[in-house]
Each structure stands twice: as structure tokens, then as C-alpha cells.
Amino acid sequence: MSSVWDHAELPAGYRLDFREVTGSTNDDIRAAAQTGARAGLVIVAERQEAGRGRRGAAWVCPPGEGLAFSVLLRPSEPKALWPRLSLAAGLAVAEGLDRHGVSAEVKWPNDVWIGGKKIAGILVEAGDDFVVVGIGINVGVTAFPDALESSATSLALECGEAPGLPPVLASILERLPVWQSKIGKDFDELLRNFRERCALTGKTVRLTCADGIVTGNAVGIGDGGELLIRTADGVRRIVQAEEVRVVEG
């Protein structure tokens, strides 16, 4: 195990499996779940060779500069409620990062921003009786490729120095079960907190949806966790979008 992780302490209920190199931590968790692994397994990789974000896009996490990990959940709530875990994970990441001296926002449906720039991405994938929550965070990155320089940030850039990777992981894992427990009867509380941190509200956005491009003003988050967009034809409820971009605001 890398010396960074030799004495890592995780909150109660979690078990750490560190891998210097792997294909995808989400795939590793899925394989473990299918062979009976218990909830709370956390796989951290120093380098992923096939890491991915939403829509199958490649996720690149520089060794030692980014934190890439996946968590195994086995929710007791009905499967119809599991999509709410994307919102829960977003809040957990934002609140965990706040503990390191920043003020994070959630970009619906599953990115985390600081000052309008992306610092973390979340990929939630469900199996028959389990959920995989994959998270990638820019922690120690101090320089991005030209294509990302204006849209990405890191804890190092925001705070002046990078906190250790294990403490960042622990701070997020402490918050994840808090919000996971709210996807059922306490969903109103989860929604209220997500709305308070929503980075899109009040902004003009452009979304790529299954039926085409939608452009309008984001007016908030609906009672089911959907994004509300005011267009010339009225308010539209967006349950899923392939891409969400801020046009202005």
C-alpha cells in the first residue's frame, strides 16, 4: 500500500482497499458486490487506466494529485428511490470539501463546483441489489490542460496548498451515510440542502436531452430532484440530461 494510505483512518463502517493501478474503481466495486461484498467497501486507486465519468467520458486523475475512489452501498430503500443517491453524493462531497476551507456548490445532477469551476465529478451506477458511487476529486492539481484551465479547479488552487488525500476521503465518507439515509421519508431535508447549494439556479443553461437541446433559465430543483428550466414554452422538468452547460449568469 502506498505510504500515503498506510495509516489512513476511515469512519466506522468503511473498509479500505487501496490499489496502485486498476482499470476502474467502479468496475472493481461492481465485481466485489457481485461476489457478496458487504456495504462500506471503499476502493481507492492511485491510477486508473479506464476511469470514466458520465456518458462514458474518460476520467483522468493524476497520480498523487487527484483522489479517485468508489464506495459500495446496499440501500434498504426501494430501488425506485436509488437515483436520489446522486444528489446525496453531491451533498456529501460538497460538505466534505467545505471542511478543508472552501465553499462548494453542487451542479445538478452530479458535479461539485467551487467558484463556477469543477472540482469533482460523481458517477453513480446501480446493480441488482447494490449501488456503486464513484467520485473523482482534484486535490493537489496545480495546472490543467489548456482546454480545462478556465473550467476546472482543485483544493490546492483554492486553498493555497493541498490537504492530504486520506483526510479528504474521510471527510466525504463521514457525510455520505448522513445523506444516503435521507433518500426516503426525509427526502425533503435532502432537497432543501441541495437547493441551497445548487450552482445552476438563476443561470441560463443549455442542456442536451434525449429529445434535443433545451435552453432556458434554471429556476430551481423540483420535488423529485429534477432540474426546473423556464423556456419560452413554460417551465420544463428535466429528469436526465446528457450535458449541462452554463450559458450565462
Cell of 55: 456518458
Choice among 19-33, 44-58, 88-102, 188-202 with the minimum mean pLDDT: 44-58
Mean pLDDT for 74-86 is 97
Q: What is the CATH number of domain 3-197?
A: 3.30.930.10
Q: How confident is the model at residue 214 (pLDDT cuts 50, 70, 90)?
A: very high
Would you say domain 204-248 falls under CATH 2.30.30.100?
Answer: yes
How many angstroms separate the Cα of 16 from the Cα of each of 1, 125, 166, 222? 11, 20, 11, 36
In this prediction, residue 63 carries a pLDDT of 73
Q: What is the pLDDT of residues 9-41, one digit of tens each?
A: 999 999 999 999 999 999 999 999 999 999 999
Contacts of 202 by beta carbon, 8 Å cutoff, 6+ apart: 217, 218, 219, 249
50 CA to centre of own chain: 18
Q: What is the pLDDT of residue 45?
A: 94
**Which H or E run contains 158?**
helix 155-159
CA 101 to chain centre: 18
Question: What are the percentages of helix, strand and coil residues in the chain, rounded to 5?
Answer: 25, 35, 40
Q: Of 34, 162, 179, nearest to 110 (Cα)?
A: 179
Residue 57 in this model has a pLDDT that exceeds 90: no
Domain ranges for the chain, please list them: 3-197, 204-248
